[in-house]
Structure formats: C-alpha cells, structure tokens
Structure 1
Amino acid sequence: MEGKIMQEIAKRIDSGEKVALVTLMSVNGSSPGKSGSIMGVFFDRTTIGTIGGGNLEFQVINSAIEAMKIGENREFELTLAADGSLDMICGGKVKGYIKVFQRRKKLIIAGGGHLGIDLYKLGKYLNMYTVIIDDREEYVTKERFPEADELLWGDIGEILKDYPLDDSSYLVIVTRGHLGDKSAVKAVVGRKTAYVGMIGSRKKVVESYRDLMDEGIQKSDLLEIYSPVGLDISSGEPAEIALGIMAEILKVKNNGTGKHMREVKTINL
C-alpha cells in the first residue's frame, strides 16, 4: 500500500498539483493509527492511505490543507482523550509530520515555432511542467517536443479559454502571427496567472491593445501583460530571446531585482 501511496503522490506532483504527505512519527498509548503510518492528502481534500480514521484523521487533513495553502511543512501533536485536543477516548498521544510538496511551475507556450522550442528546452531545464499549444498539428508532436507534459493542437484562443490557469501558471504567447497572439491574449486577460508575456514590437503591442480595448477589454488588465516580452539582453537570435523571456519569468517568480549581482552584493576589497 505504501508503494501505491507514493506512486500516486508522485503522479499528482508531476501533474502540477499541491500534495501533502502525512507521517505518524510516534504513537504513545492507544491510538487508531500506528507509528509509521502514512497518508497522502490532496488539495481537493481527497486522500490515499490512512493514519487511523476518525477525528484524528479529520483534524490532520484540515491541518494538511492549511499547510498546503501557505506552502510550509509542519509538525503536529494530538491527544486522543475526552479532555484532549480531539475529544476521543482512546487515551493515546500521537506526533506526526506534514510534508508539503509544492506544485511544479507550469510553463504554457502558445506557439510551437523556433522560439517555442527554445522556451520549451529552458523550461524543461528548470524542471517546469511544460505545455505547448499550436494551431498546426505538425508543430505539436513528440518529435519536436519529446518531453513536453502536454501537447495541445487546435484553435489557440479556444484552447486557452478553457485551460485551467492559476498562480503557478506562466504563459508566453509566441504564436505565428498577430491574430493568433491577440486571440490568445483575449482568452486569458484578467484571469489569475503568475505571468503572461506576449512577443512583438512596441508598435504591434499598441495596435493589438487598442483593438482589444475596442472589444471591451480593460486597459488596466492589458497593462498587466509583459509585452514586449523579456529582458533586454538578447541580440535577436531565437535562443537569446528565449533566454531573455525566461530571465524575466524568473525575475517575476523569485521577486528579483534584475540587477547585476555586483550591484546587489557589496564587495569590500
């Protein structure tokens, strides 16, 4: 059973979910759970395995959900007595540990061209969950993206409109043309994400934004998009543009300054 629990936890982590692993570290006296028992807790409150059931398990699941919300591991100690923390009559005491596994950051690349390939390679290098979307079937193949976690083919705007996004989602819009980029922006603007970036010259960005505002999109939402996308570090080659985009994503993800480290760290000679 323990093997199945760990396999399911690994599967959920790989798919980008928040997961907690609960372990009973010690049991003193009578308890429905045994020392060494483990249980996987998922953010939707489903579980796999057990640490004894009843109010003990109910309270620990609640604690695991709270730990996942704040992203911190925690210990717990509970008394299984009528006058204890669980109002149970077993009479024992349990100590345990909740290990939180953070969701992998998700890199969603709208556009499977040369720049999309370079972004994908950098995303995999950084252990991000990678999603490639394109409206050309031959551009979303295992041959082009052998280790991609998801390959989605079809209308990019329609796919993004239905695709689940959250604060672990980093979306880069690099489709094959102006209309595809605009359609992608329209599908995601105003939704909860960690980052949305769109490639293009300043002129193209201004024109796209004006068109979208004419369609009712709020200016304030559009100004949240990183566009033109990336940091100003490339020569214009696709690989260097991709590196500039990933550098900007890391700056946002890690709340970095983007400064030279020698400006951040003082060196005394």
Structure 2
Amino acid sequence: MHPTDIYKRVTETLDAGQRAVVVTTLSGDAAALPEKLVLTEEALQEAGGDASQALALSALDAGELALQKSASGGVCFAEPYFPESRMIVLGGGHIARPLVEFAAKCGFNVTVTDDRPSFANRQRFPLAKRVLCESFDRCIPMLNINRSCFVVIITRGHRHDLDCLREILKLETAYTGMIGSRRRVAGARQQLLSEGYTQETLDLVRAPIGLDIGAETPEEIAVSILSEAVRYKRVVSKSHWPELDTEVLAELAAPRSEPRALVTIIETKGSVPRDVGAKMVVWSDGRTLGSIGGGCSEGGVITAAYDVIRNGGHRLVDVDMTGDVAEDEGMVCGGTMKVVIEKYAS
C-alpha cells in the first residue's frame, strides 16, 4: 500500500473511533525505502499472528511504539494510533465555560451542547471544536460517542442530568462523570437500580464528578473535573494514551508532489524532550511540521533529512543530549534518542 494511503486509512479508522497500528520495516540497506503496513484493531483481533502482527499487538496493548531490531541491522517498529481524546460537555452553564477552555488547552477535542441558544454559541465557547444547540434527548445520537470520549454531564437540572446519563450508559466511553450533591447522586443511583441498571454499570460513573479538592468556584470545579478526566486518561486507562499530532497525520495522508522527509523517534534513553513516536515532516526548502524536541538536536536531524530527501532511502540517526555538548547549549535534557529519517514519497 502507498504511504499516503496508509495514513489515509489510519485517519479513516480514527474518525470511526477505532484504533490502528502502522508497522514500518527498514532493511539493513539504507538505500531502500521502508515498507509500511497498517493494521486496524479489529483486524489484529481476528489475525492469526505473524511477527509483525505480534509486534503490532504489543504496541496496541501498551499504547506505545514497539521496536524490534534484527541481526542484519534492520529495524521494525509498530506505532499505535488512538483516536483523539474528545470531551463531550452536556450542558453549557457557568461551569462549562472554564471547563471547555481548560480542556481545549490540555489537548482535548471539545464538544459542548445545550438546548438554549444563549448558552450554545461560538461566542460563549470559542475554543470548542463543536458547539451544538439541541435538546438533550436528541443530541446524544448526533455526537458519535465512543471509547475515546470523556463525557461530562453538567446540565442545568437534575432531571436532564439523569436523562443524559440513561443514554450514555448504553454507550462505551473512556470516562463518564455527572455533577450533583452526594445526596442527589445517591438518589439517582437508587432510581437507576430500580430501573434495572446494574451496580457494576453505575460504578463506572464518577458521581459526584471531579477530584475532591474542596472546589467552590466554577473555575475550581472545572479544574477538579478536568483533573479527574486527565487522571483517567493517564493513570486509570489500561494502556498509555499516545499523543496524536493531527496536523502531521493530515499531512502524511495528503497527496503531495513535493519531496519530504519523515522523522520519527523510535528509541530514547534518559531525559529527552519528546517520547518515542513523536514525528516531524521536513521539506527541502526548510519548512517543518511537528517536532522531535527543538534545539540543536533537531537542527542536526533536519540537516540529515535534507540528505535523505536528495538521496532517497532512509537513515538511522543517534541524537546525544548528554555531556559537554548539551551543557554548552544550555539543554535541560540529558538523554539520547534514536530517530529514523525516511524519504516520504507521495
């Protein structure tokens, strides 16, 4: 499959709320272009399991790039792609305003919905990716809620909160939380139990929502909610949630005639500015997209990328941020990175 088609398939898979893995195989011959394969989570679960599929499953389970080296100098690495973490805020009231702002700045793709036009508008939520003015009983099927979604139920009334929760409990999410006092939440749980919902299902709901930090103001409550959502993303989740650079992914999925190089961190040791899997696209005219950490380390890699664009194939480059060089440059990191630079042919 053509590299552009590979990343286009990744984009389509993520848009559907599913996960995918890209497996890249580099031979010991630096003049050879890498071979790429995309495997969806569904395909991996059904597959028999050769070496590349086993590596892909390892990456998917851990949520981190998995690397395998051969005795001949070749390298194979599997990169997991998870859908962008989305926060669905049901209710556009006084807590929603700071929550949407803070969540967007923390990397969430935020959708906020309310049934009142004065509360569901772009002026009120400029950082939201989507603002939906719709009744709560009709909006949930329109939101494409899946297990990459962090659902926050903070409508203007207990009845609306409970109606929303009934619908959300039918879906799989990364996190669901509902606002309310302990007395009100306890009453809601008893009501849902009497309707046939199981205790196990209700235990998945964070209610009262947010970490207990003694929050009182709307901003403080927003911080407590966001903190709990981040904790679920980074700590409670069974696997690491890899960061998704949507701009780089969109560039890789777009057909271009101009030559480019794709840079990927495949191995790190010690303190480094970016994790494995971080990517950067380099053009021959000096433009770049994405980052592997900046500073002199990135500058040397960019220079090597120009050679790959001219000569083709791929290169493995070791970046050393320890010792005198790092000290002279005033770098705060003190580790090493291995990056692969490949000519990206459209």
TM-score (norm 2): 0.54
Which residue in 2 is equivalent to 1:230?
210
Q: Choose the corresponding residue for 1:115, options 54, 79, 95.
A: 95
- Give the whole-Å Cα distance in 1 for the aligned partners of 2:51 and 2:102: 41
Alpha-carbon contact 1:17-1:104 (below 8 Å) kept:
no
Which residue in 1 is equivalent to 2:219?
239
Q: Does residue 181 of structure 1 match 2:179? A: no
Q: CA deviation at 1:110?
A: 1.0
| 1:91-114 per-position Cα deviation (integer Å, ceiling 9, x unaligned) | xx9743222234332222111222
Q: Choose the corresponding residue for 2:60, options 68, 79, 95.
A: 68
Distance change >3 Å, CA 16–CA 151, structure 1 → 2: farther
Q: Which amino acid aligns with 2:177?
A: G
Alpha-carbon contact 2:152-2:176 (below 8 Å) kept:
yes
Which residue in 2 is equivalent to 1:24?
25
Alpha-carbon contact 1:107-1:171 (below 8 Å) kept:
yes
Q: Does residue 142 of structure 1 match 2:122? A: yes
Q: CA deviation at 1:246?
A: 1.4
- Give the whole-Å Cα distance in 2 for the aligned partners of 1:69 and 1:27: 28
Which runs of no fewer than 5 residues in structure 2 stay unpaired?
45-49, 237-346
Alpha-carbon contact 2:101-2:128 (below 8 Å) kept:
no
- Give the whole-Å Cα distance in 2 for the aligned partners of 1:105 and 1:226: 18
Q: Does residue 207 of structure 1 match 2:205? A: no
Q: CA deviation at 1:129?
A: 2.3
Q: Which amino acid aligns with 1:165?
A: N
Once superposed, what is the RMSD of the aligned Cα atoms?
Answer: 3.7
- Give the whole-Å Cα distance in 1 for the aligned partners of 2:193 and 2:141: 18
- Give the whole-Å Cα distance in 1 for the aligned partners of 2:117 and 2:214: 30
- Give the whole-Å Cα distance in 2 for the aligned partners of 1:59 and 1:232: 46
Which residue in 1 is equivalent to 2:231?
251
Which residue in 2 is equivalent to 1:265?
none
Count of aligned pairs: 228
Alpha-carbon contact 2:100-2:127 (below 8 Å) kept:
no
| 1:151-209 per-position Cα deviation (integer Å, ceiling 9, x unaligned) | 3342324433674322x332110011111101011112264333221111223223333
- Give the whole-Å Cα distance in 2 for the aligned partners of 1:220 and 1:45: 30
Which runs of no fewer than 5 residues in structure 1 stay unpaired?
29-33, 47-57, 79-92, 257-269
Q: CA deviation at 1:148?
A: 2.5
Alpha-carbon contact 1:73-1:100 (below 8 Å) kept:
yes
- Give the whole-Å Cα distance in 1 for the aligned partners of 2:99 and 2:127: 13
Q: CA deviation at 1:27?
A: 5.7
Alpha-carbon contact 1:157-1:186 (below 8 Å) kept:
no
Q: Highest relative contact order (Cα 8 Å, sep 6+), 1 or 2?
A: 2
- Give the whole-Å Cα distance in 1 for the aligned partners of 2:135 and 2:13: 28
SS at match of 1:144: coil
Alpha-carbon contact 1:109-1:173 (below 8 Å) kept:
yes
Which residue in 2 is equivalent to 1:165?
146
Which residue in 1 is equivalent to 2:33?
35
| 1:66-101 per-position Cα deviation (integer Å, ceiling 9, x unaligned) | 5324423224579xxxxxxxxxxxxxx974322223
